[in-house]
Amino acid sequence: MSSNGYPPYSRAGSSRQGQSHNPQRYGTQSQPNNNHRSLHDAAVGGYHGQSHDTQLLPHQIVASQSQPSPPQEGQQRPCGANLTGQVRILDEPGQNYRMSIGDGGFSDVYKGEYFSAVDAGPITTFVAVKLFRISRNGGHGELWPERVTKRITRESDIWFSLNHSNIQPYFGYCEGLGPSVALISPYCGNRTIMTFITNNPQINKSPLIKDIAKGLSYLHSKNVIHCDLNCNNVLVDAAGRAILTDFGRAKIIGDVFYSTPLMAGTAQYMAPELLHPTEEVDINELFSKQSDVYAFGILSYEIFTGEEPFACHNVRFDWQVVPLVQKGNRPLCTTHVQRCISQATWAMMEACWAAAPEDRPSADQIVQGLH
């Protein structure tokens, strides 16, 4: 039995039953037709321009450029299609400043437009434009120029290699839009998963959780660790599908040159082994598939309950969370939680945030266990 009276999590292959799920997802997905309307329509977030029923899709954006290719050894340029001159950042309506749709530890994301010509005529497609903050004096939330170049190269290299329905697509890069090279991806209507749930409180959350698990399982099958899985790095497209985004801290297993600020992430999602490393251990080696799984468990709690993970302990700030986790505390199974989460799902979440990494299930086992 678990500490909350729920039966322990049974890994893949067990006969445990999860809560019943309504197969109806929020929103409907258009069926493909001869005009190339497909599942990526929802990810892109719409189009405008000439009056024809043609949507520019991610593969069409790449195809309209010179053949993209990874950089050669020793080169420091991003992977993917060079979209320079074909993307502009939009201003807020009626204002003369840029339309910000999100930000991260070292970057800002803006709403933009991509212009292209296809057989049916010119098309304008909404995109997300990610720019890194460049430091001139070591300011907080900024990176030195040489670190920005390395980070953009690493992020685009990883993102370029990914292709899965629960991973946000990557279009390419663009120069001349800001202090750094910009990374271009589909525009998802500025909907992080928590914003989506807030706007749709009756939505069945279980399929969203499975979407995230499937995306994470795919990453791990490619030996990619996300390293920053949290509610701000999961979007929901117009078809109601959860997709993982922001690979700025992601690493490939075995990358000896990987380096990232440990506390640049969110302490509430950080596994205990990341919070008290010993001097003998390389901090960057502590990020693992198992630490991603821990973050998945915490993220699941927040999605199901709508509460910050450690609010039940009356703490909210990172400096309060760290000693709490180090002492073995985790989110509590309150009466509210029992109304939101089935016994089987709670047991799965407890397994994900086990203190010992080797006791946590794999992302693939989680996918197989979710119903």
* Annotated domain spans of the chain: 46-186, 193-369
β-strands 224-225, 121-132: how paired? unpaired
Amino acid at 257: F
Among the ranges given (86-100, 162-176, 230-244), the one the predictor scored with the smallest mean pLDDT:
86-100
Upper half-sphere CA count for residue 64 (Cβ side, 13 Å): 20
Q: What is the pLDDT of residue 120?
A: 64
Degrees (nearest 5) of the Cα angle 335, 341, 344?
Answer: 120
Q: What is the pLDDT of residue 48?
A: 35
Tokens of 93: 């309506």
Strands (E), the chain: 47-49, 81-82, 87-89, 100-103, 107-118, 121-132, 172-174, 182-186, 224-225, 234-236, 242-244, 251-252
In whole numbers, what is the pLDDT of the chain averaged over residues? Answer: 78
Give the pLDDT band of residue 107 (cuts 50, 70, 90). Answer: confident
Residue type, 70: P
Architecture of the CATH domain 193-369:
Orthogonal Bundle (1.10)
Q: What is the mean pLDDT of residues 39-56?
A: 35
- State whether CATH 3.30.200.20 applies to domain 46-186: yes
Rounded Cα distance, 72 and 153, in Å = 12
pLDDT of residue 331: 95
What tokens were used for 330? 């985790």
Spatial distance between the Cα atoms of 273 and 120, rounded to a whole number of angstroms: 55
CB atoms within 10 A of CB 85: 10
Q: What pLDDT score was predicted for residue 190?
A: 59
Q: Which residues contact 77 (CB under 8 A, 6 or more apart)?
A: 71, 153, 181
- Rounded Cα gap, residues 345 and 337, in angstroms: 11
Is 130 a known ligand-binding residue?
Answer: yes
CB 203 within 8 A of CB 197: yes
pLDDT value at position 285?
73
Rounded distance between C-alpha atoms, residue 305 and residue 164, angstroms = 27
Q: Provide the H-helix boundaries in the chain.
A: 40-44, 58-63, 145-160, 193-199, 206-221, 272-275, 283-286, 289-305, 318-326, 335-340, 343-352, 363-369
193-369 has the same fold as 46-186: no
Phi, then psi, of 173 in degrees rounded to 5? -130, 165
Distance CA 368, CA 229 (A): 20
Rounded CA Rg of the chain: 21
Q: Which two tokens stand for residue 146?
A: 């040489």
**pTM listed for this prediction:** 0.78
Question: Per-residue pLDDT for 358 more than 60?
Answer: yes
Q: Is the pLDDT of residue 201 over 70?
A: yes
pLDDT of residue 26: 30
- CA–CA dist 153, 55 (Å, integer): 29
Would the pLDDT of 262 be above 90? Answer: no
Q: 């640049």: which residue's tokens?
A: 264
Looking at residue 63, what is its pLDDT?
43
Strands 81-82 and 172-174 turn out to be parallel
- The yes-or-no verdict on residue 314 having pLDDT over 50 is yes
